[in-house]
Amino acid sequence: MDKAYTKVRIVMDASARPPSQPSAPSLNNCLHTGPLLLKQLIGILLRFRFMKRVILADIEKAFLQLGVRESDRDATRFLWVKNPKEIELDQFQYAPCIVYRFCRVSFGLTVSPFLLNATIREHLSLYESKVARSIEENLYVDNIMMCLNPSENATSACLEAIEIFKAGGMKLREFFGLKKSERQIPSEDLAPNQEETKILGIKWNQIKDVLILKLPKFEGKITKRSILSTIAQVYDPLGIVSPALVPAKHLLQKVFEANYKWDTEVSDDIKKQWQKIMSSWKDSSEVEFNRIVSTSSDQLEYHCFTDASGHGFGAAVYARESNMQPKVALIFAKSLVRPASLPINASTIPKLELQAMTLGAKIFRFLNQELKVATDNLTIWSDSQCNIERLKKIGKYDRFVTNRLQKIRNLCPVKHLVSNDNPSDLCSRGSTPGDLSVNRLWWYGPKWLSLPKEKWPTPLVEYLPGSEIQDKTEEFTLAATVEEKLEPCVINIERFSNYKRLLSAMSYVILFIKKLRGLIKSPIITSTTIKVAENYLILKAQENWPPSEEVKSSLQIFERKGLLRCRGRIEEADLRDNTKFPVFLPKESWLTKLIILDLHKTNKHCGTQTLLALIRRKYWILKGRKEVERVLFSTKYGCLTCRKFRLRPYNLQKI
């Protein structure tokens, strides 16, 4: 351990079970973990980068400051070797034991973090001072962070914090961030090193006010286990060096695709690639970047750049001071490897770019929650012109695209930029740590972002929330149906027993109305007239028996050209639109029965299976098989011809 205070930490194994009863519940199985009260670690680190002055501290033996009710202490009993100093190491398993029990909340209990946080927050709620609120907002387990203005007296703030926790039976120690003139608290309560410390796992040099990320060294055999272990050792919650991990993650994906066993050495080709990556990490094992982003949080804008490639996709967020001399700094980034199951083809990159834009929207929602950022100050940038056009037009896309467009719309503007100005290109393609540390585009964004907005390039295309328009191809409705809209329907379709006669009658009605209005001269039935009549009859059936919300959801029903259609799993197939998006027919309608009988007779009195396949070329009937059988075998309106062949011979009466 690198702690100067806690040399040994006793942890209770509350998940242990008896060897003879592996299915028996452990103590942790019997405890309720309680709600998660911990603040988001990334949110605390982001706020840390906007604080002008920071003082850190630690609660001494925090869990052990909480007592366990005496009636519950038997649940924490454990065995301890009696007189351990008098027993040889190889005789420990035979040594006599004594039973102890914890009187304090111990490490290893799933409920311990909740109890500690709930206790501290309840205690801090008794105080209304600025120091108490600052501690409460940035508390993480036993780590204390106080945000101060440069003009504030740090000594008085520390003494106040000490008194607050002293009143709760806790002691603060390891104070870090005090100037020499401010160190008026006991020396044993100061951190031993006042130049460098760790803030939630990230090294902070107070003298230079920089944060330092360290890349691990690699030694030993190159196996799937060792590669994964090395990548997992990189602790970078803000994603600052995420481009440096992209080549390693991509190589790890290849190792998994090759189905290597965990401890089997990889091929020579993969070894060479891994050694090259590790060599670049070794040359730049530490990456430094400025801690403080801005001193004026009121004039900040946030710009998220997104991009994708065949290797993966990512996003990078920059904070920009919108004053006379704008300053820009990278505050957060994230990169993800392309899923191995996703093949590379013409549609892959646009989908990955849309996924990157969705990632940017997700990051912005997180910033809005943690930094209280107004949506007016957010902008997403992408070099994917086709996806920005999709945002502008409300059309019928596949479910993957539709779901992601909904997550981006109405959040913030999305603007286009040229690929050479896109820093998130590094998130998708990767970089070495050495190149990354000197890459101005990565740390500060495109050059024009540091200029006044009047000097920014004009985007080729942009999306503004609320400016969506209906796609013309989807907005088209059946003109003839609207023109000849009849309320109510002038034909009682239940008087007809033949679908073709019904269409013929409806066609004559439409021609008669058009003749009265002077729209036609010669009333001749054409294929267009029959099509209009058919669509009108289906429309009236759908209006009289509309689908429920549950049916709409399960069949993904949408409207096209005035009719309700269903979306299935073959929409990418090379088929006609009527087959890919069949018209919804309510089974309660008489029209549905007529269509079933007409197709049955037209196709030589085919059976149920064949008839159902023919129907689904154009229509979709809920519980179609059951409805087809019911219509065909009905004694009231079923097929008379088929009924004759299905009749059984008369059984003579026995004498």
Following DSSP, what letter does each residue of 499-534 receive, concatenated? HHHHHHHHHHHHHHHHHHTTS-SS----HHHHHHHH
* pLDDT for 119 beyond 90: yes
Helix (H) / strand (E) containing 627: helix 624-632
Q: Of 5-9, 158-162, 276-280, 297-301, which range is least confident?
A: 5-9
Token pair for 261? 């066993």
Q: Where are the domains of the chain?
A: 35-63+111-206, 293-463, 493-646
Let me know: does 331 contact 270? Beta carbons within 8 Å.
Answer: no
Helical spans, DSSP H, in 177-267: 224-232, 242-257
Distances (CA, A) of 286 to 171, 374, 427, 649: 34, 35, 19, 93
* pLDDT for 607 beyond 80: yes
* pLDDT for 459 beyond 80: yes
For residue 477, the model assigns a pLDDT of 38
Mean pLDDT on 354-382: 91
Q: Do domains 35-63+111-206 and 293-463 have the same CATH topology?
A: no
Distances (CA, A) of 576 to 110, 333, 518, 579, 596: 58, 44, 36, 5, 21
pTM greater than the 0.85 cutoff: no
Tally the C-alpha atoms within 13 A of residue 627's C-alpha that lie toward its C-beta. Answer: 20
Let me know: does 443 contact 289? Beta carbons within 8 Å.
Answer: yes
For residue 488, the model assigns a pLDDT of 59
Taking only the tens place, the pLDDT of each residue in 308-347 is 998 899 999 999 987 767 889 999 999 999 887 776 765 6
For residue 476, the model assigns a pLDDT of 37
What gap in Å lies between CA 605 and CA 383, rounded to an integer? 58
Q: In this structure, what is the dihedral angle of CA atoms 304, 310, 311, 317, given to the nearest 10 degrees?
A: 0
Angle at 162 between CA 157 and CA 168, to 5 degrees: 130
CATH class for domain 293-463?
alpha beta
The CATH code of the domain at 35-63+111-206 is 3.30.70.270
Higher-pLDDT residue of 381 and 149 is: 381
Helical spans, DSSP H, in 371-429: 385-392, 399-408, 425-429
Taking only the tens place, the pLDDT of each residue in 495-531 is 888 898 999 999 888 888 888 877 777 678 888 888 8
Taking only the tens place, the pLDDT of each residue in 558-597 is 888 888 989 877 877 778 888 888 999 998 888 999 999 9
